[in-house]
Copies of this chain bind each other. A is one copy, B any other.
Amino acid sequence: MKKLINKPEDVVKEALAGMQAAHSDLISVDIEQQIIVRKNAPVQGKVGIISGGGSGHEPMHGGFVGFGMLDAACPGAVFTSPVPDQMLAATKAVNGGAGVLHIVKNYTGDVLNFEMAAELAQADGIDVESVVTNDDVAVQDSLYTAGRRGVGVTVLLEKIVGALAETGAPLSQVSAMARKVNDHGRSMGMALTSCIVPAAGKPTFDLGEDEMEIGIGIHGEPGRRRVKLASALEITEMLTTPIVEDMDLKAGESVLAMVNGMGGTPLIELYIVFDALHRLLHGKRITIARSLVGNYITSLEMAGCSITLVRLDDELMKYWDAPVHTPALRWGM
């Protein structure tokens, strides 16, 4: 296992200490409890927004704590959802009297732990609403299964909803906006390589030199199918077509597009995929009105990428463009 780490069991805490040291102007990190809180929390009268999930997806979520996005993030062990204690402490820390929104990615562990935390917080008299993201079109949605995973849309949703919360909008409106963004967005990902969970010490799966996995999530898990390596154009097509079809995107519509790296893929390749995506959507007369290209929701050192599209209207565009100031996303201030 080749990693810039000390002991596997110290990975999360030391990375948190590094975040604290690098971004002490923006965040306060409780390294013991594993909670990253916005510096000036709680903001009185503002809905508090928290999210959380396993570590290994950096910059998500800790990198999105700050003005115009999250009020707190709860990182769990690598690829393991955090525990209710963290979420409860974070909820209390960011409650400015206007209630707290939990943004939960749809994985059994995340959902169950956030569910317990929300129950505990409500028992403490805090108004909590939860929104579960489930944008991964690689997974068939069904009432009888765990349903679709929450992936890339989570990042874009946290930005948009965070901007709305800064306006002082009430919890019901903030959570409605979160559901809207989730409904408006879809994602799909692929892997060129596996990744190594530090405590496991070996790759989660083996992949031949000429193979790739299509339809992966963000936990180093194998995808829906293993296929022969293909060109960036073909891969972009494999990821984008199911998204466009599921969203029923029509000529003339505008989207916010994210080409996201899984952690081990260099930016030069992500721009090649963005070029392919741009050409493909251009051919369908779909406009990329806003975009993000980079590593935003990762799977440790996995090589690969995911594509996320969110159908834009004026309202979403306005909150997307609003100022944000976090370790990983910053504009307008």
Residues on A close to B: CB < 8 A?
Answer: 2-6, 11, 14-19, 21-22, 55-56, 58-59, 63, 192-193, 209, 212, 229, 231-233, 235, 263-276, 278, 288, 291, 293, 295, 298, 300-301, 303-305, 330-333
Measured CB to CB, the nearest residue on chain B to A304 is: B4
What B residues does A56 contact at CB under 8 A?
266, 268
Closest 10 CB pairs of A and B: A18-B271, A18-B275, A58-B267, A4-B269, A263-B266, A18-B274, A21-B278, A15-B271, A2-B192, A17-B275
Q: Return the contact of A19 from the options B11, B58, B271, B300 (Cβ within 8 A).
A: B271
Task: Please tell me how many copies of the chain the complex holds.
Answer: 2
What B residues does A269 contact at CB under 8 A?
3-5, 15, 301
Contact at A18–B330, with CB atoms within 8 Å?
no
What B residues does A22 contact at CB under 8 A?
271, 274, 278, 291, 293
Q: Return the contact of A303 from the options B2, B6, B14, B304 (Cβ within 8 A).
A: B2
Contact at B270–A229, with CB atoms within 8 Å?
no
What B residues does A2 contact at CB under 8 A?
192-193, 209, 212, 229, 303
Contact at B18–A301, with CB atoms within 8 Å?
no
User: In whole angstroms, how far apart are the Cα atoms of A214 and B298 in the complex?
Assistant: 27
User: In whole angstroms, how far apart are the Cα atoms of A275 and B274 in the complex?
Assistant: 33
Given contacts A18-B270, A330-B331, 19 further A-B contacts (CB under 8 A): A2-B303, A3-B192, A4-B232, A4-B269, A4-B270, A4-B304, A6-B233, A6-B272, A14-B272, A15-B268, A17-B278, A19-B271, A56-B268, A58-B267, A58-B271, A263-B266, A264-B301, A266-B298, A301-B303
User: In whole angstroms, how far apart are the Cα atoms of A2 and B229 in the complex?
Assistant: 8
User: In whole angstroms, how far apart are the Cα atoms of A4 and B331 in the complex?
Assistant: 28
What B residues does A272 contact at CB under 8 A?
4-6, 11, 14-15, 18
What B residues does A330 contact at CB under 8 A?
330-331
Measured CB to CB, the nearest residue on chain B to A231 is: B6
What B residues does A298 contact at CB under 8 A?
266-267
User: In whole angstroms, how far apart are the Cα atoms of A19 and B259 in the complex?
Assistant: 12
User: In whole angstroms, how far apart are the Cα atoms of A266 and B21 in the complex?
Assistant: 18
Q: Can you list 10 pairs linking A and B with CB atoms under 8 Å apart? A: A2-B193, A3-B192, A4-B265, A5-B272, A18-B272, A18-B293, A58-B267, A264-B303, A265-B301, A266-B300
What B residues does A264 contact at CB under 8 A?
264-266, 301, 303
Measured CB to CB, the nearest residue on chain B to A300 is: B266
User: In whole angstroms, how far apart are the Cα atoms of A273 and B271 in the complex?
Assistant: 27
Contact at A21–B192, with CB atoms within 8 Å?
no
Most buried by B among A5, A21, A192: A21
What B residues does A266 contact at CB under 8 A?
56, 58, 263-264, 295, 298, 300-301
Contact at A192–B4, with CB atoms within 8 Å?
yes
What B residues does A209 contact at CB under 8 A?
2
Contacts A22-B293, A275-B21: A63 and B4 contacting too (C-beta < 8 A)?
no
